Every structure is written in C-alpha cells, then in structure tokens.
Amino acid sequence: MFVRRSVIGILVIFFHVFAFYFYFYWEQNKSVELIPDIRIQQSLQLGIGWLAHNEDKILAENNAMLWWMLQQSALLTHDKKLVDLFAKYQSKYLTGQHNNMWLPLFNTHSWIPVRYEQIRHFPYYNKHFIYSLSCDQDLAKIPEIAEQDQPDFCDWHPLRPACVTHQLMGIRMQQRRGCAADAGVLQHTVEALQQRIVRQLTWDPRVVDVYLQRVMMLLESGAGEQLKPIWITRVVEAQSMSGGWGNFEPIVSVGEGKYFGFTQSGFGIKRPQDTFHATIQGVYIMSLLSSLNNNH
C-alpha cells in the first residue's frame, strides 16, 4: 500500500511539473502579432530614462561589455542622454588609459598588446574577449582560449547559462577585427551558435538576464529574422514601471514585496530589482529593433 501511494504521489507531482512547464513553453512560443514600432520606442525611452536616473550607480560599474552596449545604443539612436552617459564613462575610465586592454572594444582602430599573465585570473569568457580584440597569436595557442573558437565548446559546459551568448560575443569581435584568415570559418561558427540560441529561446521560457542576452545576440549578429514575435513581446513586458529590467521573473506574490519566480539558475523567492546588466541589454535590444524598423 505504501509503495502504491508513493508511486501515485510521484506521478501526481510529475504531472503538475509537466503541466507547469508546458504552460510556460506555450507562452514562450505562441503566435502573436509583431509588436508595434511605437511600443519599441516607448520601451527604449523608458530604458534610457532608467539609465539616466541611475547615472551615479551605473558609472560606478566599470564593466566594459555593458558600456560597449551603451556606446552602440548611442550610435544607433543618437540619443543625447546615452551620448552624455558614454562620454562620462569614457572620461572616467578610458581617457589617458593608453594601456587599457579594453580600448579596442570601443575603438576598432586601436590595438593593445596583452600577455596571458595579465588575464590569467579573468573569467573564461573575458580571456576569449581579450584575445578576440587583439587577434594575438600567442593567446590563440592557449588551450582554454582556443577551445572557445569551436562551435561545440558549450556542449562541455551545460551549467553555464550564458556560455553560448558569451562565445558568440567573442566570435563577433573576431569578425569585426578580422582575426581569422578564413572569414568563412568564423561565419560558420556564428551560424551554429545562432541556431543554438534559437533552441535555447524555444525551450527555456525564463525571462531573466540571459534571456535578454540571447535575444540581443541574435539581433546583433544579424539573425533578427529568427526571433519569434513573442520573444520580443516578452522582453518588452518584462520591463518594470521604472523602465529597467532585472534578473528575476516574478510569477506569484508571497507577500512583503517578494515573489516566487524564475531565476538565472532555476526558481527562487526574491524581490524584483532592476539592474544595469539587464537594463542595458534591454536598451540595446530596443535600439537594434528601432534601427531595423527605421531601415525598412
């Protein structure tokens, strides 16, 4: 009797988990109309407003990749607030820093020599970024860097949610810098990673930081036509009333401003909170979409 009840209990739990996932999978892939351009513009302006309002907070964060996204958003939109924000970042972190290894990220005409000892303790993806910005052949021989040029690199690291998007960022840097002798090899890798990201967006319905990054990288790498309209809609709907985005998707209120919801690693109970990391990706997405709409 005990075994029978246990089996029934397990089946009931499995059914509810399956039904829960199936609902969110359906929400993630249902057919919707293209979101109107005016809604994209509204989202963009709200996001820019959040960045401007939190100027002191974001200027305290010297994350080159986030500021590159802001720079690109400024170039696409010519928005004065974004232009001014980047100018302040540039003055604080880049001006006069002639040996700053991130300078080539912002200026494609610059080149900074880098030794592996300088980046040994960097996260794996930042090592790949620095190589991709320098095209340094000595760095290319380092196994932990070289392996990130392989299309199947992230197959060996399934617990890194942003592995594929980070890898694509590095490969795109190599394309812009002209690192590879055979441009076709890089493009093949780009297309393979784009397909992986499409699969991730199809099966992973959690609108958290990495979700925005996946949408952003498909747009940035020229695969915007592979985005389902619902994915853009969900990004817009995830924007907070104050104009920012966060790394948590609330589902059910549990009181005192806290919610049960999706996190980067699964589920959790948190207070929704906007972050620079997520918000600038949201703003860059809207900038890219706005640019595409204006060119059509």
pLDDT in tens, the chain (296 residues): 655 655 565 555 554 455 667 787 889 999 999 999 999 999 999 999 999 999 999 999 999 999 999 999 999 999 999 999 999 999 999 998 888 999 999 998 888 999 999 999 999 999 999 999 999 999 999 999 999 999 999 998 988 999 999 999 999 999 999 887 678 899 999 999 999 999 999 999 999 999 999 999 999 999 999 999 999 999 999 999 999 999 999 999 999 999 999 998 888 999 999 999 999 999 999 999 999 887 76
DSSP state of 92: I
Q: State residue 29's pLDDT score.
A: 94
Provide the β-strand partners of residue 258.
255
Torsional class of 49: left (φ above 0), alpha (ψ -120 to 50), beta (otherwise): alpha
**Which residue type sits at 212?**
L
Pairing of strands 249-255, 266-270: unpaired
Q: State residue 19's pLDDT score.
A: 63
Q: Tell me the whole-structure pTM to 2 decimals.
A: 0.93
Q: In what order do the strands lie in the sheet with 266-270?
A: 249-255, 258-263, 266-270
Q: State residue 24's pLDDT score.
A: 79
Q: Which of 147, 158, 160, 151 is nearest to 195 (CA)?
A: 151
Cα distance between residue 145 and residue 124, in whole Å: 8
Q: State residue 277's pLDDT score.
A: 98
Q: State residue 2's pLDDT score.
A: 54
